Each structure stands twice: as C-alpha cells, then as structure tokens.
C-alpha cells in the first residue's frame, strides 16, 4: 500500500471512536512501512529479511550464540547454522570462540555488518526531528503506548504460532 493510499480498516477499541480507529489504522500502516524498509535494506545489502533480522540482533547485542539467534527469530538451530554460514560467506558476521566458555562459539558482527546500521541513519534523524514537536510528557505517553503495542504484538505472535 503506497503512502498516499488510505484503506478503511475495521474500527477497534472504543465503539464509535474515530480517533481509536485512526490510530490503529496508522499502526497497521506503519507495520507495512517497516516491512518495506526492511526489504529495501535487505535488498541493498544482498541479504534475505531473515538474515537481516539476524544481523540486527547480532549487531545490537555484539556477541550471541546460535541458540540465542534461533530463539529470537523462532527458527530451528539447523536453520540458524545455514543462516550464520551465509552471513559469514557474505562477510557480515563471523564465528569465534566464546571467551567465557571455550566449548561454545559466539557470532559477532564484522565491520561490514556494523555498517548496515548506516542505512537507518536518515530514518533515525527524521524520527528525532519528529519528536522535537512533543513535550517530555507527551513523549513518555507515546513511549508507553509503543511498549504496550509491542507487548500486544508479541502476545499475538505467541498465540498465533503453531503449538508443538
């Protein structure tokens, strides 16, 4: 859906609340916008969106195990082995022995992997500019709303996943 196109989405929340319906519609559209951004960045660096999600997790945490990546992405450890192999071949990440437990291997970002974040700098600058128009109290309210929205999405993900 392009930015200028607005579809009517079912109203939710308080019955008859146009403001609530509008807010939820914008949240849904934002989700699609982030999906498109993720795909654009993945295309730009030559990764799949799953591999890009793994790189984001690796870069955010600095060093992670294959099991932690699997848990974060909800993939099997077998699938993660292939994913890490692809990231290594592409030069975005590398395996290295865990300094705390030499029996374990951790995955760390390379300099090339860390540079992916540069593609998000324009968005970060735009968002910082956007929040300048809000008071600290309003920003606190928005932050609370976003946390609650993320919690609702996470709960829905867990409810939706097939049960073993």
pLDDT at 3: 52
Stated pTM of the model: 0.80
For 21-33, the pLDDT digits (tens) are 899 899 999 999 9
What average pLDDT is seen over the chain? 90
Determine the 3-state secondary structure of 121 from DSSP. helix
Mean pLDDT across 146-152: 94
CB–CB of 21/9 below 8 Å?
yes
pLDDT at 5: 52
For 34-66, the pLDDT digits (tens) are 999 999 999 999 999 999 999 999 999 999 999
pLDDT at 17 over 90: no
Q: Which residues of 112-140 are buried (b: 16+ CB within 10 A; e: fewer)?
A: ebbebeeeeeeeeeeeeeeeeeeeeeeee
- Bridge-based pairing of strands 93-97 and 105-109 is antiparallel
Distance CA 143, CA 2 (A): 26
The yes/no answer on whether domain 18-113 falls in CATH 1.10.10.10 is yes
pLDDT at 11: 47
pLDDT at 77: 86
């Amino acid at each position: 859906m392009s930015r200028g196109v607005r579809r009517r989405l079912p109203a939710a929340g308080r019955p008859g609340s146009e403001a609530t319906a509008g807010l939820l519609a914008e949240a849904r559209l934002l989700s699609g916008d982030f999906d498109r951004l993720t795909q654009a960045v993945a295309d730009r660096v030559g990764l799949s969106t799953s591999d890009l999600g793994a790189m984001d997790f690796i870069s955010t945490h600095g060093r992670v195990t294959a099991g932690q990546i699997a848990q974060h992405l909800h993939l099997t450890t077998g699938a993660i082995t292939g994913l890490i192999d692809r990231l290594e071949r592409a030069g975005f990440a590398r395996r290295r022995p865990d300094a705390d437990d030499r029996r374990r291997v951790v995955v760390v970002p390379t300099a090339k992997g860390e540079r992916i974040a540069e593609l998000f700098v324009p968005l970060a600058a735009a968002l910082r500019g956007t929040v300048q128009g809000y008071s600290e109290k309003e920003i606190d309210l928005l932050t609370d709303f976003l946390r609650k929205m993320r919690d609702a999405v996470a709960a829905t993900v867990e409810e939706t996943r097939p049960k073993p």
